[in-house]
Amino acid sequence: MPLEFWFEFASTYSYPAAMRIERAAAARDVAIVWRPFLLGPIFAAQGWTDSPFNLLPAKGRYMWRDLERRCASYGLPFRRPSRFPRSGVLAARVALAHEDEPWLPDYVRPVYRANFALDRDIADRSEIARLLEELGIAPAPVIARAEAAENKDRLRTRTKFAHKRGIFGAPTLLFGEEMFWGDDRIEDALDWATRHGG
């Protein structure tokens, strides 16, 4: 049974998590699967029209400082985005439409880096196209597949499943019935998976 890594491209703590999960899992021989989803509809269902880090300014101020410290401790570059949150919808559609491609993790990481280290607009189609090109992937067919009605539907279904499963934030790690929330629970999740046959 693999450890499921549920991530949202707009989510701040998903940035360090996405950057380090693959190496951390490989070091313990735990298989992971990447599960893109959207937090927006889950937040909206509880009446939030914005990120809780914007709705609660004290919590937001703390989060930015905490994230900066954590990225420094991981040796990850970090720059607070000039706009937050940036929509991760297109980025997630691309990820979902290609989640079985071997290049998926190599696509996910640069998208996070663009948002949280380079302050680039990942909601912009040309930015996603540029990132795909840098991977040697022709953007047009990938983006067309991502924006097909069937794939848009699939992302809605995926997000509904996440909501029903009890996911309320990102990143979230699932191992069977067990849930772990946050970059700071990656080690706990990997330990659990190791002890329970992951």
The alpha carbon dihedral of 61, 77, 113, 126 has a sign of positive
In this complex, which beta carbon is closest to a copy of itself, that of residue 141 or of residue 166?
166
Q: Is 66 near a copy of itself (CB under 8 A)?
A: yes
Minimal distance, residue 6 CB to a copy of itself, in Å: 13
**Which residues, at least 6 apart from 64, have a Cβ–Cβ distance to it below 8 Å?**
12, 53, 80
Contact call for residue 59 and a copy of itself (CB under 8 A): yes
DSSP state of 29: T
CB 171 within 8 A of CB 6: yes
Q: CA 148, CA 93: separation in Å to the nearest integer?
A: 9
Stretch that binds a copy of itself, among 33-41, 75-83, 96-104, 177-185 (CB under 8 A): 177-185
Near a copy of itself by CB under 8 A: residue from 61, 79, 83, 196:
61
The binding site for a copy of itself (CB under 8 A) comprises: 46, 56, 58-59, 61-62, 65-66, 69, 73, 166-169, 178-181, 184-185, 188
